[in-house]
Amino acid sequence: MPRKIFYRLLSIGIFALSLFSRSINAEELSDTLDLARHADLALNGLNGTTDQRDEFMFRCSISPPTLAHDAYSFSACGPKYIESMAMSSLMTGRGLDESGSRQAVDYLMSCLGEDGLFYCKIGPERPWDTASPEDWTNMYGQGRMLRAMLAVHELEGGDVWVDRMRGPETTTVDSTSQFYRLPSR
């Protein structure tokens, strides 16, 4: 690590420690941690990062303040939004409809292919995604999508989420190979 960067990080760390090391009066501390209020604030932030189609914009900039689409982040982080929205809605005691998150969750769920995988759709509606000539997926987003569906199932219940998580019995990858899902016990 270059010396200049090291000293910059060191000075930031010392400043952060000085903030936390000051004495805190008991009156400054809340006697309760209002998780529902914090979850409501989180939902406001999450819902504020969607475009008119309810797709998330992952690239944030402070100077100038902007939000933009990022194809690569969508493939792995898109499902994290569903999971966060479901968990935050659960903490506030509201469903996805009441929390304003239903459309964004529905959009991401529409990205599930018939094979059960979470895809980044390529086409005129997503001109910033030029990562592939066709719809594509990566393995990081698949586990996150399962966790997201579990979180929504926890919030809403119902067999639809269980059925989506089970997926198809077989998935054809190409003409010479197939992946088989083990039967549930």
DSSP 25-64: -GGGS-SS--HHHHHHHHHHHHHTTB-TTS-B--EEETTT
Are 47 and 101 in contact by the 8 Å Cβ rule? The answer is: yes
Residue 10 belongs to some domain of the structure: no
User: Which tens digits make up the pLDDT trace of 11-26?
Assistant: 555 555 555 555 556 6
The answer to whether position 184 is within a domain reads no
Domain of 110 in residue numbering reads as 33-168
Domain membership of residue 106 (yes or no) is yes
Asked whether residue 22 is assigned to any structural domain, the reply reads: no
68 located within any domain: yes
CA dihedral sign of residues 121, 123, 126, 129: positive
Give the Cα separation of 62 and 50 in Å (integer).
17
Q: pLDDT (tens digit, 9 = 90+) per residue, 40-55?
A: 988 888 888 777 776 7
| Residue 12 counted as domain residue | no
Closest CA to 161 of 150, 175, 176: 150
Nearest C-alpha neighbor of 51 from the set 76, 81, 80:
81
CB 46 within 8 A of CB 84: yes
Q: Could you tell me if residue 9 is inside a domain?
A: no
**CB–CB of 46/81 below 8 Å?**
yes
**pLDDT average, residue stretch 73-102:** 88
Please say if the pLDDT value at position 177 is more than 60: no
* Tally of structural domains, the chain: 1
Instruction: Enter the pTM of the model.
Output: 0.68
Decide: helix, strand or coil at residue 157: coil
In a domain, 180, yes or no: no
Give the least confident one: 51-55, 70-74, 118-122, 170-174: 170-174
